[in-house]
Structure 1
């Protein structure tokens, strides 16, 4: 069987297998009690989750809901870290909460390895990706990233108001990831659709989600076929040729990893850049200080990552158990909120404030445990360069309309629209 045929046949078999899961009832009613009926896609949470998290941390540090078939929300750093490191009792086979739980047979690989993989498979799957994300590999992408940021700002000339999320932040990781994977840069708008379908449709009917994921996997398979016919020096060709245990990766592994890189690699950085610009637009003192002291930016950037950590991961409980005073059932979701952990006063002084010169800052924005973000060096480079170029070119800016800012209703939180006045 040719490589093309292998990818087509095996992926279709895997796609059918993933339809066999546990489907839960779709609940869209507004939240009435955050301790017993929370929802991370509720409009109030989407607009501003931090007061809710702070209140829960004091009154009910491990909240529960029957939405999505049963889910827990720990809000203390200690609890979030404990679950993140405990691979024995919590599985990573699905890291995005939805109304469908994938079958247990997907473990230990999961749908998007290595982030969805459990030990011992996880170790080798993660190791495969490390060479592409070392500091030296990332450094080679900085000049092109900087040039691209300048080109985006060049395109804003003459405009008084721009959407910093849609006109700037989202394009940067799209271009970087497209270049890494060897995808056409003009496909950027399609990437945005894939990201939003994967992360913001979790409470949609399962058949609709399957249709959306099919579009994404079909796109990736087309790219794989093109790379098989025309191999080149990029991450897609590397994954096609990579081996684990003396054999090439299963097609589902290749497509799953590419899905992870495309979706997570774009939305996390898009959200971090947008949230940082949102903060600086509404906090003139911090903006003015960074313009006057550009050397402070790396420190300030870590604080912005702590305060506006974009990523919340999920785990699934492996077996019925009592954990930290609550009775968890097998296959309950755990919403692992790194943003809540980052604002725990027991872990950080002045946890609810943004202190751009904070010196000690062991935040969890890139996760904790074995699944700590493999692309953290890349994300930091993109965020730093995006802010350096913006502040140098547009030192004065403000929110054009605070009420017009919208945020993603998903486990990756960042501005989806961000109108800034720059003229």
Structure 2
């Protein structure tokens, strides 16, 4: 990351891996909205960056001109193997698939529908007690120390343990899961070796889990997928592995980033901390505002057909960064968009995405964030950053604090 060519013009040569973009992107996005609402760069073989809510929404809903077969902008895109000598992939399915997120219509809808029952409000409600126990156990480990890293000691463990429970995976494998995410979405953004290594290890791991479930079925999502049918056909192992890869990564990195960002904000805003402690009924509004202000996810699309959005032509085969965090900071949609107002009542944010790929796990994420904050504030109501300069942020498609040292009494 240190040898990257510095950016001199964000409108014509932006780089989403530039340290300035990673650390504090909001001012850059504000400037782009005023001067060049659809930025472009020749880096990464050509990428567009729309910064207005309306343009991001239009692209997210336009599956004719924008494909989801590639959803991450990387330094060196992975080679997509051909179907030569193999059965043809269903229409809209990516060969490096993690369905449904990498699927286009018509393949997308049935792949998405079979997952929905596991993420209904009732299904997620049954996980709340388990999540509270996880949070309590984590806080027990550092509550008497007077300090901790709120990211590595807390936020990064909560969704790992919850998704492991849902998939029927050993919670003791959490360090392995965190390592894969680091290889895929941090190191793997800039070079292929880490990306390929993580994919290979994950595929081997899930093949073993699938074989185990075929021998001894359980009450978990892996067993559920083995019994699921799509268009009257059982799912292939490749489909199941791709979906498990998606559930593991999306179920962990996005939520731990959101929890960490909430704690980063509260560590610096005593009045907000005190309001949430004294007015617990505010928590649902506060969680939505944190999701708006610190939305962690930026997805990508590939231009399938040349088109125009927001007065800007989009060339076929180039990529588009769909920054839901930028959409959530658009002052044309959100009054005082640059302020975090924990009692904001009107809040139609895009933190969980827009269009057909809106996050399946939004109920799960909301529950985990809410429980993680409630349990933390019940035990540690007064805390602050140990050193603001020591906070580090992730780069790539998911943004959140990776180191977050705090002190408390």
Note the alpha carbon deviations across 1:175-222, whole angstroms, 9 max, x for none.
Answer: 010011110110000110111222113443334422221112112212
**8 Å Cα contact 2:143/2:379 also seen in 1:** no
Note the alpha carbon deviations across 1:150-190, whole angstroms, 9 max, x for none.
Answer: 11111113212100001100111000100111101100001
Give the TM-score, by structure 2 length.
0.94
Please name the residue that 1:28 is paired with.
Answer: 4
Residue 100 (structure 1) aligned with residue 77 (structure 2): yes
Note the alpha carbon deviations across 1:267-312, whole angstroms, 9 max, x for none.
Answer: 1110110000000001111111111111101111100100000111
Please name the residue that 1:141 is paired with.
Answer: 127
Note the alpha carbon deviations across 1:236-278, whole angstroms, 9 max, x for none.
Answer: 0111221111111121110110001000110111011000000
**DSSP 3-state at the match of 1:152:** helix
**DSSP 3-state at the match of 1:356:** coil
Residue 256 (structure 1) aligned with residue 233 (structure 2): no
Rounded Cα–Cα distance in structure 2 between residues aligned with 1:326 and 1:202: 30
Residue 291 (structure 1) aligned with residue 277 (structure 2): yes
Please name the residue that 1:13 is paired with.
Answer: none
Q: CA deviation at 1:135?
A: 0.3
**8 Å Cα contact 1:96/1:199 also seen in 2:** no
Rounded Cα–Cα distance in structure 2 between residues aligned with 1:206 and 1:145: 35
Please name the residue that 1:23 is paired with.
Answer: none
Residue 305 (structure 1) aligned with residue 282 (structure 2): no
Residue 274 (structure 1) aligned with residue 260 (structure 2): yes
Residue 421 (structure 1) aligned with residue 407 (structure 2): yes
**8 Å Cα contact 1:39/1:67 also seen in 2:** yes
Residue 68 (structure 1) aligned with residue 52 (structure 2): no
Rounded Cα–Cα distance in structure 2 between residues aligned with 1:124 and 1:50: 37
Residue 213 of structure 2, aligned match among 224, 227, 230: 227
Note the alpha carbon deviations across 1:6-42, whole angstroms, 9 max, x for none.
Answer: xxxxxxxxxxxxxxxxxxxxx9322221111111111
Rounded Cα–Cα distance in structure 2 between residues aligned with 1:216 and 1:196: 13
Root mean square deviation of aligned Cα: 1.5
Residue 329 (structure 1) aligned with residue 315 (structure 2): yes
**8 Å Cα contact 2:135/2:372 also seen in 1:** yes
Residue 172 of structure 2, aligned match among 183, 186, 198: 186
Residue 61 of structure 2, aligned match among 85, 90, 109: 85
Please name the residue that 1:355 is paired with.
Answer: 341
**Alpha-carbon distance change, 187 to 151 in structure 1, aligned in 2, over 3 angstroms:** same
Q: CA deviation at 1:326?
A: 2.6
**8 Å Cα contact 1:162/1:420 also seen in 2:** yes
Note the alpha carbon deviations across 1:336-379, whole angstroms, 9 max, x for none.
Answer: 00000000000010001001100100000000111110000000
Rounded Cα–Cα distance in structure 1 between residues aligned with 2:291 and 2:194: 33
Residue 365 (structure 1) aligned with residue 365 (structure 2): no
**DSSP 3-state at the match of 1:201:** helix
Rounded Cα–Cα distance in structure 2 between residues aligned with 1:81 and 1:102: 29
Rounded Cα–Cα distance in structure 1 between residues aligned with 2:389 and 2:347: 31
Q: CA deviation at 1:102?
A: 5.4
Please name the residue that 1:9 is paired with.
Answer: none
**8 Å Cα contact 2:288/2:347 also seen in 1:** yes
Rounded Cα–Cα distance in structure 2 between residues aligned with 1:148 and 1:213: 28
**8 Å Cα contact 2:306/2:313 also seen in 1:** yes
Rounded Cα–Cα distance in structure 2 between residues aligned with 1:203 and 1:31: 18
Residue 37 of structure 1, aligned match among 8, 13, 16: 13
Unaligned residue ranges in structure 1 (runs of 5+): 1-26
Note the alpha carbon deviations across 1:74-118, whole angstroms, 9 max, x for none.
Answer: 000000000000011100111111121654977612211101111
Rounded Cα–Cα distance in structure 1 between residues aligned with 2:308 and 2:291: 33
Give the TM-score, by structure 1 length.
0.91
**8 Å Cα contact 2:53/2:326 also seen in 1:** yes
**8 Å Cα contact 2:73/2:189 also seen in 1:** no
Please name the residue that 2:86 is paired with.
Answer: none
Rounded Cα–Cα distance in structure 1 between residues aligned with 2:128 and 2:191: 41
1:108-187 matches, within 5 Å, as: 108-110=92-94, 111-187=97-173
Please name the residue that 1:389 is paired with.
Answer: 375
Rounded Cα–Cα distance in structure 2 between residues aligned with 1:213 and 1:54: 36
